[in-house]
């Protein structure tokens, strides 16, 4: 990966090689102004000749591929991993808050439906991923001289994916059209037959194939008909049965939203996967997020391919809120009335902060937590880095060499 360069006035220049950056820093002709990604600023006046630069972005719901190219060179490439736990954390917070209100204010009216959402509101889990994609595109744009940005987006017809023959008014008439509700439609679709024992009669229930707590929906294709007795035995583990899991279209819905947000927030060109596939095959590249991003930039040919590896960017929670112990004080066997609740999520120990990029036992990792005066260190994939001579995961502060502080992003060059 090339090193990003700024001139004396802080304006971006063409990226340079790692070797040249080391020499400039060693000679005192440049200083470090950023680590994510690594950026230097020159301390002397220099020529400002630039070349056309293109940023290719392979957008997605979980991973983003980014590549920076000139006409025939790949200057930098890598992937960004987005958080997938926002919805679960918000659900947990709402659950605990609801329980706390019920315990402490038993006669207080519910107020969860008296808020008017602003125009353009998006669910927080989607807004987080949209904001992060826009943030990193703008970040790389600020480090390059007048780059051209091309973003691959997706436009999906979810109803067409479910039923390729759908047309006309069928778009307004869903599967349950003409039935009292979804439950009656599921019973009729299954011919009022239990899908476990294959028998009719008795009390019938609708069973979620993918449970709601695991991301399942109330859509018809996620529901099946089961007997009351079979339903109880199945959930108690006394009865084993495998249902065919339905296809989920959460990512396709997100990509439809992302396309509109990208068009509204960024000054960029838009492309689609059908064009990217042809270009990638023409460049003889395998199917990866990074290679898709390279193909999106539409280079005529690749004369110099960056062999220094890929960068990997991953978001993590640095400032976590302590949600007590997730067990109500009134619900404990022994009430915690005297013991002091010590502060959780220790932010630092002896100058080492949560999330710092560090070097320990010859490996590069990130501080994941503290216990006393000991430190937990993980690599960018979440695996613990520990002393080879010890069986426990913690390492001493004296064994750690800090590289730099981080914000809420882990940035690592993977060779």
Residue-wise pLDDT tens digits, 207-235:
999 988 888 888 888 999 999 999 999 99
What is the phi/psi pair of residue 169, to 5°?
-70, -10
Cα distance between residue 59 and residue 126, in whole Å:
13
Residue predicted with more confidence, 26 or 90: 26
What is the reported pLDDT for 158?
86
What is the reported pLDDT for 324?
46
What is the reported pLDDT for 208?
94
Cα distance between residue 135 and residue 133, in whole Å:
5
> CB count, 10 Å around CB of 362?
7
- pLDDT (mean) for 150-170: 88
Nearest by Cα to 364 from 377, 374, 376, 345:
377
Reported confidence tier of residue 26, pLDDT bands at 50, 70, 90 = very high
pLDDT digits (tens, 9 = 90+) for 228-263: 999 999 999 888 888 888 888 888 888 999 999 998
Residue 30 has pLDDT above 70, yes or no: yes
CATH topology of domain 341-407: SH3 type barrels. (2.30.30)
- pLDDT (mean) for 333-356: 71
- pLDDT (mean) for 316-329: 62
Reported confidence tier of residue 330, pLDDT bands at 50, 70, 90 = low
Cβ(342)–Cβ(333) below 8 Å:
no
Nearest by Cα to 155 from 67, 66, 274, 298:
274
Cα distance between residue 80 and residue 289, in whole Å:
10
Residue 323 has pLDDT above 60, yes or no: no
What is the reported pLDDT for 394?
92
pLDDT digits (tens, 9 = 90+) for 256-315: 999 999 988 888 999 998 899 999 998 888 899 999 999 999 887 777 665 667 899 998
Q: 176 is written with which tokens? A: 């349950």
- pLDDT (mean) for 17-41: 93
Cα distance between residue 159 and residue 253, in whole Å:
11
Reported confidence tier of residue 358, pLDDT bands at 50, 70, 90 = very high
What is the reported pLDDT for 100?
78
Cα distance between residue 283 and residue 127, in whole Å:
34
Residue predicted with more confidence, 364 or 343: 364
What is the phi/psi pair of residue 12, to 5°?
-70, 140
What is the reported pLDDT for 138?
94
Q: Is domain 54-84+121-156+250-315 given the CATH code 3.30.420.10 in the classification?
A: yes
Nearest by Cα to 149 from 271, 276, 323, 281:
271
Cβ(152)–Cβ(296) below 8 Å:
yes
């Amino acid at each position: 990966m090339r090193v990003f360069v700024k001139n004396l006035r802080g304006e971006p220049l063409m990226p340079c090689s790692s070797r040249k950056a080391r020499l400039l820093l060693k000679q005192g002709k440049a200083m470090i102004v950023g680590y994510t990604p690594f950026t230097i600023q020159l301390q002397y006046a220099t020529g400002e000749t630039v070349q056309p630069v293109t940023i290719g972005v392979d957008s997605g719901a979980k991973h983003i591929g980014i590549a920076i190219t000139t006409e025939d060179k790949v200057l930098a490439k890598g992937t960004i991993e987005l958080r997938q736990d926002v919805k679960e954390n918000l659900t947990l917070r709402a659950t605990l808050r609801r329980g706390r209100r019920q315990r402490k204010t038993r006669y207080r009216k519910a107020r969860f439906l008296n808020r008017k959402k602003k125009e353009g509101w998006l669910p927080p889990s989607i807004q987080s991923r949209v904001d992060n994609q826009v943030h990193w595109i703008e970040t790389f744009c600020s480090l390059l001289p007048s780059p051209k940005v091309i973003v691959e987006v997706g436009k999906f017809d979810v109803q067409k994916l479910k039923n390729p023959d759908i047309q006309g008014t069928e778009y307004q008439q869903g599967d349950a059209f003409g039935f009292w509700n979804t439950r009656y439609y599921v019973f009729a679709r299954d011919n009022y037959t239990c899908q476990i024992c294959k028998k009719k009669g008795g009390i019938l229930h609708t069973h979620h194939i993918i449970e709601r707590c695991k991301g399942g929906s109330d859509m018809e294709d996620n529901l099946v008909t089961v007997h009351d007795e079979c339903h109880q035995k199945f959930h108690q583990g006394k009865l084993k049965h495998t249902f065919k899991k339905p296809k989920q279209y959460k990512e396709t819905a997100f990509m439809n939203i992302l396309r509109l947000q990208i068009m509204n927030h960024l000054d960029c060109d838009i492309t689609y996967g059908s064009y990217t596939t042809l270009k990638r095959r023409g460049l003889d590249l395998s199917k990866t997020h990074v290679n898709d991003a390279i193909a999106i930039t539409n280079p005529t040919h690749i004369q110099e391919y960056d062999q220094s590896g890929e960068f990997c960017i991953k978001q993590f929670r640095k400032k976590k809120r302590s949600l007590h112990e997730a067990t109500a004080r009134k619900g404990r066997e022994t009430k915690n009335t005297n013991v002091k609740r010590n502060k959780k999520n220790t932010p630092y120990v002896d100058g080492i902060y949560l999330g710092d990029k560090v070097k320990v036992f010859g490996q590069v990792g990130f501080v994941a937590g503290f216990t006393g005066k000991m430190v937990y260190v993980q690599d960018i994939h979440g695996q613990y880095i520990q002393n080879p001579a010890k069986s426990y995961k913690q390492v001493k502060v004296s064994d750690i060499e800090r590289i730099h502080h981080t914000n809420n992003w882990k940035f690592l060059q993977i060779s």
